[in-house]
Amino acid sequence: MTTTRPQALARRASRATPVKPLVGVIGLGIMGGTMAEELRKQGYPVCGYDIEASARARLKACGGKVLANSTKVAQQAELLIISVASARALSEVTHAICAAPRRPGGLPQVVLETSTLTLEDKLQAERHLKKAGRVVLDCPISGTAVRIKERAWTIYASGQRKAYDRARPILQVFTDQIPYLGAYGNGTRMKFAANHLVAIYNVAYAESVTLARKMGLDPVQVLELFGNSPVLGTGVMRLRMDMMVKQAYTPPTMKIEVWQKDMEVIGQMAKSVDCPTPLFSASASIYTAAMAQGLGASDTASTAEVLAAMAGLPPAAR
């Protein structure tokens, strides 16, 4: 059979363009759903599952394939991303992945665990998945879904170096800041250190805005002067103080009620290593007060409303 010139060119082109691997995303909430959408934008085939119908619809809308359960996703995907909100969810997903047969031949399936959970939860999942023939990377994310547009995420990757090298092209879809931190679990330890600072920063900026208002300063000008300062400015300030100045806390980039879980696991880690955290501990009561004031579904920037109430300033319109 004679091969025509167009057929020969098509074959040559297919050889020159590497086929992108099928990526599975289990947990299609704010972060997982955002990752699935970004992968689709870059031409990656994506399959996934979430218990929430709205999350599954979001994947379908961006061209991803919704599967019946997590086991089906693990069975089909070459590389898996897990993004869940609780230890219980991680345990259920882990067992579902272990129930999927191993992919025949080739390299073992790489699992990227991106959730913010206790280190023990992460280690337990890694032990189970390793027994099932998977290679797991601990890859918690520092950054909000909104900030993926700026490529402002940092992904703290730890685990087997060869698996990191395989996963890096996928992670680069989201950000260029993907430090390799060595042994499995160091990613979570680094994320705790980052979120420890964020917890304090949020309350510090809320206090700064409240002080400015009490002194009769325009908080808009405070943000303009401080936000881009090489000495005072941070990304957290520019994101959260803007919401504080406007007294507008929806849509949230991080809900107070979800952040409470992060506060708890950081506190547990600090206690386990006998580390005093006086500033972190002081900030915790402000988040608890925000919950008591009905701000659980609002952004963590709403800590400014707690301090405003304490200072006798008018609340945000709801």
Q: Are residues 225 and 157 in the same domain?
A: no
How many domains is the chain built from?
2
Average pLDDT over residues 59-72: 97
Q: Are residues 247 and 132 in the same domain?
A: no
Residue 201 domain flag: yes
Residue 234 counted as domain residue:
yes
Among 5-14, 94-103, 277-286, the range with the most confident prediction by mean pLDDT is 277-286
Q: Using 50, 70 and 90 to split pLDDT, how confident is the model at 149?
A: confident
Question: What integer is the mean pLDDT of 151-166?
Answer: 96
Is pLDDT of 118 > 80? yes
Task: Return the higher-pLDDT residue of 17 and 105.
Answer: 105
Q: Domain holding 41: CATH number?
A: 3.40.50.720
Range of the domain at 258: 191-310
**pLDDT at residue 99 is higher than 90:** yes
* pLDDT for the residue 129: 97
If pLDDT is split at 50, 70 and 90, which confidence band does 1 have? very low
pLDDT at 53 over 80: yes
Q: Is the pLDDT of residue 22 over 70?
A: yes
| Predicted local confidence at residue 14, as pLDDT | 46
Provide the pLDDT for residue 102: 82
Answer whether residue 266 shows pLDDT above 50.
yes
Among 177, 183, 152, 178, residue whose Cα is nearest residue 167: 178
**Residue 66 included in any domain:** yes
Residue 167 and residue 205 in one domain: no
Q: Assign residue 246 the CATH number of its domain.
A: 1.10.1040.10
Mean pLDDT of the chain: 93
Assess whether 31 and 153 both reside in one domain: yes
**What pLDDT, on a 0 to 100 scale, did the predictor assign at position 124?**
97
d(CA 79, CA 24): 6
CA–CA distance from 291 to each of 35, 233, 296, 299 (Å)?
A: 29, 28, 5, 11
The enclosing H or E element of 80 equals strand 79-82
Question: What is residue 6's predicted lDDT score, i.e. its pLDDT?
Answer: 54
Residue 8: pLDDT band with limits 50, 70, 90: low
Region 266-288: what's the mean pLDDT?
A: 96
Instruction: Please indicate, yes or no, whether residues 46 and 96 belong to a single structural domain of this protein.
Output: yes
Q: Within a domain: residue 247?
A: yes
- Is the pLDDT confidence value at 238 over 50? yes
Residue that is last in its domain, among 160, 184, 208: 184
Q: Is the pLDDT of residue 11 over 80?
A: no
Instruction: Determine the average pLDDT of the residues in 286-294.
Output: 97
**Percent of the chain residues topping a pLDDT of 90:** 84
Q: Quote the pLDDT of residue 103.
A: 75
Instruction: Give dist(CA 169, CA 70) in Å, integer.
Output: 23
Compute the average pLDDT of residues 259-286. Answer: 96
Q: Are residues 148 and 255 in the same domain?
A: no
pLDDT at 105: 72
Do 213 and 133 share a structural domain? Answer: no
Residues 227 and 157 in one domain: no
Q: Does 170 lie in the same domain as 82?
A: yes
Largest Cα span, the chain: 86
Q: Are residues 33 and 142 in the same domain?
A: yes
